Chains A and B, each alone.
Chain A
Amino acid sequence: KQEVTQIPAALSVPEGENLVLNCSFTDSAIYNLQWFRQDPGKGLTSLLLIQSSQREQTSGRLNASLDKSSGRSTLYIAASQPGDSATYLCAVSDNNNDMRFGAGTRLTVKP
C-alpha cells in the first residue's frame, strides 16, 4: 500500500525567502503526482500535476520536481510572500485509480 510522507510538518520563513517542501512515497509505480494548497477550513486547490513520465512542472513562482526512482518530489517556492501561507499537500495516483495523500506541510511566511 502506497504511503506518502511530507516533512517537515510545519515551516516558518521570512518573506522573500526561497523554500523547498518535500514529499516522499514508498511505491515508485505511480501514474502522476499532484501538489495542492489548502487554506484553513477550505478545500484543496490543485497547484501542479506531474505525470510519471515528466521530471518537473512550473507555474509562476512554483516549481515541482519528480524523481520516481527515489520516490521523491519537491515543491520549490521562489520569493515567498505572506499570501503563500497555507498547508501544502502532495498526492500520488496509481494506474488503479487510487490516490494517496500526505498529511501536508503547514507553511507560514512572516512579513
Chain B
Amino acid sequence: DGGITQSPKYLFRKEGQNVTLSCEQNLNHDAMYWYRQDPGQGLRLIYYSQIVNDFQKGDIAEGYSVSREKKESFPLTVTSAQKNPTAFYLCASTSTGMADTIYFGEGSWLTVV
C-alpha cells in the first residue's frame, strides 16, 4: 500500500540535544512538507520541499533543519535552538503542490524531558 511512514511515533529529547524525525513516502510524490501541531491549534508549516535537493522555510522554521537527498525521504531535525519543541509533528506529501490532495503520515510526538 502507498503511504507516508513517520518514525518514531514517540520521541523524548533532553535539553541541548538534537533529534531527527524520519519521513518516508512511496507515493512517488514530488512535494513533501513538515507541520507542527500544538493542542487546540491548527497546523503550522515548518519546511517544505517541492523537488529533490531543494527546500524552503515555512512559517516557523527557526530551530529546525531538513534535507531532501532522495525523492522519498524528508527527515526533520529538531535542534537545540528550538526552545519549545514539545509538539505533534506531521509529515505530508502532494503530487506536485498545494493544489493537489495532500496526504499525511501518522505523526510523531516529541517531548522534552
Q: Which residues of A contact B (CB under 8 A)?
A: 4, 9, 31-32, 34, 41-46, 49, 89, 91, 93-94, 97-104
Q: How large is the interface on B (under 10, 10 to 19, 20 to 34, 35 or more residues)?
A: 20 to 34
Tell whether, in the assembled complex, residue A89 and residue B107 are in contact, meaning their CB atoms are under 8 Å apart: no
A15 CA / B28 CA spacing, docked (Å): 40
Tell whether, in the assembled complex, residue B99 and residue A31 are in contact, meaning their CB atoms are under 8 Å apart: yes
Q: Which residues of B contact A (CB under 8 A)?
A: 4, 6, 40-45, 50, 88, 90, 92, 97-99, 101-107, 109
**Chain B contacts for A32, CB-based, 8 A:** 99
Tell whether, in the assembled complex, residue B90 and residue A43 are in contact, meaning their CB atoms are under 8 Å apart: yes
Query: Would A43 and B105 be within 8 Å (CB), given that A102-B42, A104-B42 are in contact?
Result: yes
A83 CA / B4 CA spacing, docked (Å): 24
**Chain B contacts for A101, CB-based, 8 A:** 42-44
| Nearest-Cβ distance from residue A42 to partner chain B, whole angstroms | 6
Tell whether, in the assembled complex, residue A43 and residue B104 are in contact, meaning their CB atoms are under 8 Å apart: yes
Tell whether, in the assembled complex, residue A93 and residue B104 are in contact, meaning their CB atoms are under 8 Å apart: no
Tell whether, in the assembled complex, residue A93 and residue B99 are in contact, meaning their CB atoms are under 8 Å apart: yes
Sample 16 A-B pairs with CB under 8 A, ordered by A number: A34-B102, A41-B107, A41-B109, A43-B90, A43-B92, A43-B104, A43-B105, A44-B90, A44-B102, A44-B104, A46-B102, A97-B97, A97-B98, A99-B98, A101-B42, A102-B42
Query: Would A49 and B101 be within 8 Å (CB), given that A41-B109, A42-B106, A43-B106 are in contact?
Result: yes
A85 CA / B59 CA spacing, docked (Å): 30
Given A43-B4, A46-B102, A91-B42, 11 more pairs with CB closer than 8 A: A9-B40, A31-B98, A34-B101, A41-B109, A42-B106, A42-B107, A43-B90, A43-B107, A49-B101, A99-B98, A101-B44
Tell whether, in the assembled complex, residue A4 and residue B90 are in contact, meaning their CB atoms are under 8 Å apart: no
| Nearest-Cβ distance from residue B72 to partner chain A, whole angstroms | 17
Query: Would A89 and B103 be within 8 Å (CB), given that A43-B90, A44-B90, A97-B97 are in contact?
Result: no
| Nearest-Cβ distance from residue A25 to partner chain B, whole angstroms | 12
